[in-house]
Structure formats: C-alpha cells, structure tokens
Amino acid sequence: MPVIRGTSRVNPLGADRRSELLSALRQELGAPNEGAVREDRMVPIVFEIPIELSDKKDVLVVWEAWRDIRSEDRSSIILEAYGEDGGSIAQALGVTYDEAIEQQVLPYAVQPMNRRGEADPEAVRNAMIRQGGILFGDKKVDLRFPSLQLAQDAFERLVQDLPTGYWSIVQTNS
C-alpha cells in the first residue's frame, strides 16, 4: 500500500501573538459574552464536553484566530488559559470553523424551521448568535455543536428565548 503524505506549513508562534491569543481566550473564559449578539467571527466559541463517568472534560475552541497556528500551540494555549482547571481537561482541541466542518467535530446543527411571518428573521438570527452561532456569508448563521446534549440544551434555550420560533436538531455529515 502506498504511503500518501500531505505537506504542512510550519509557522512559529511568536511570543506577542501567543500572548494576544491567550489573553483573548482567558477573557472569554472569565466573562463569556453569553446573551450578547456577537457579530465578530474572531470571538472564540468554547465547548466544554463532560466525559461520562469521569470528572474530566474535553474542550473544543472554534475560533478564526487559530488560522495559521499549529495544532500543538492551539492546545497549549487552551490548557494555559484554563490555568489550574487545565488538569480537568482530557483533550483540548482548537479549530477554525472550516476545520471543524471538514473534521466533522460539530455534527449536530440546530436549525430554524419558521415559515414567513411566524418569527422575525433578525430575531431568529440574533437568537442563534447568542447561542454560539457562527457567522458566515452576509447574513447566514450556522449553529452547531459537538454533542447531542449540547445541541438539545441550546434548543431548549432557543425555545425560551424565541417562543414564536420553531427549531430542529439535525445530525449533519458536513
């Protein structure tokens, strides 16, 4: 069987850039912008996934700022941002939105199912952003989760936040 190897780009992470990323991630962990409508794709979206029968969790950080940052640097920054709580992390993974889709680490999507006139499209969009929706394109929001439980939790919050809206959880292949 042939061995097929891809090529990688290795860009060393400078101390200033590392410090900038670490500070931004610590800020988000310390005071998450929950409930705020965030239009900036450069804000990290942090998923903490509890591991059953364990006191550990996996942490997934989807963040466009990871672009051109090596995987091991991403993980190291995540662990350092958690400080003393870093010991409770079984796996720390940092990905961009495109990488998350390509690697299928966000397989559960919560999607609006509204007919015209049932719910204000801007209110639906803002509700999705408040739950961690990722902006792409001009007005599109993609609300995805790494686990069914996290998707169900967001679904419940969306129902509370926007009673006139209808929502669906879909397991995606991409």
Question: For residues 115 and 92, which has the higher predicted lDDT (pLDDT)?
Answer: 92
CATH number of 106-171: 3.30.70
The secondary structure of 86-113 as a DSSP string is GGGEEEEEEE-HHHHHHTT---EEEEE-
User: What CA–CA distance (Å, rounded) separates 154 from 34?
Assistant: 12
pLDDT in tens, 112-154: 987 777 788 888 998 999 899 988 777 789 999 999 999 999 9
Minimal CA–CA distance to 100: which of 6, 21, 39, 174? 174
- Domain 15-101 fold is GMP Synthetase; Chain A, domain 3 (3.30.300)
Do residues 58 and 90 lie in contact, with contact meaning Cβ atoms separated by under 8 Å? yes
Annotated domain spans of the chain: 15-101, 106-171
**Separation between Cα atoms, residue 121 and residue 127, nearest integer Å:** 10
pLDDT score, position 41: 61
* Dist CA 117 CA 23 (whole Å): 43
Reported confidence tier of residue 162, pLDDT bands at 50, 70, 90: confident
pTM across the whole model: 0.85
